[in-house]
Amino acid sequence: MTGWRIVAATTLGVCLLLLGAWLAHRVNKFGINDMFSREHQFSDERPLTEQVALEITRRALEADGYDTSVLSPVEYRHEFPEGHAERFFARNTLNSNSGRVLWGPAPAPWGSLIKRNAFRTYAVRIEKSGSEIRCRVYKGK
């Protein structure tokens, strides 16, 4: 083996070892189901309306440690059926007590500094069963 191949193989081995250690840490800390996203549970007696979904998904983002002052819900841009009033809450068509809200960077005034990760989006899945509400935050690309 030449010198550069040894360096490349060693670097690849170290990277794979670090990746394995990181995955083992995440599984140990959060469990296999919560390795990449954590479930947040809330209790609320109100029916799952768009306003309730926005409020609860904001709380889930805050529970995940995100600064919600720089985020706002993103409007879904597609044709809505007649009488459809929800613009931010994409309700599941098979289960009306679940859906998701997409959060993105809040509009900033001209000349303001762009914060780190200002263009990242977050999809928050929400599901209500009785008074129990479960949310899970996923990072967009």
Two tokens at 103? 């959060």
The number of residues making up the chain comes to 141
Considering the chain, what percentage of its residues have pLDDT values greater than 70? Answer: 76
| pLDDT at residue 107 is higher than 80 | no
| pLDDT tens digits for range 29-47 | 656 655 567 889 999 999 9
Q: Please indicate whether residue 141 or residue 77 has the higher confidence score (pLDDT).
A: 77
Q: What are the CA-CA distances from residue 129 to residues 10, 15, 89, 109 (Å)?
A: 51, 43, 17, 40
| pLDDT tens digits for range 7-36 | 888 888 888 888 777 767 666 665 665 556
The model carries a pTM of 0.69
pLDDT at 81: 62
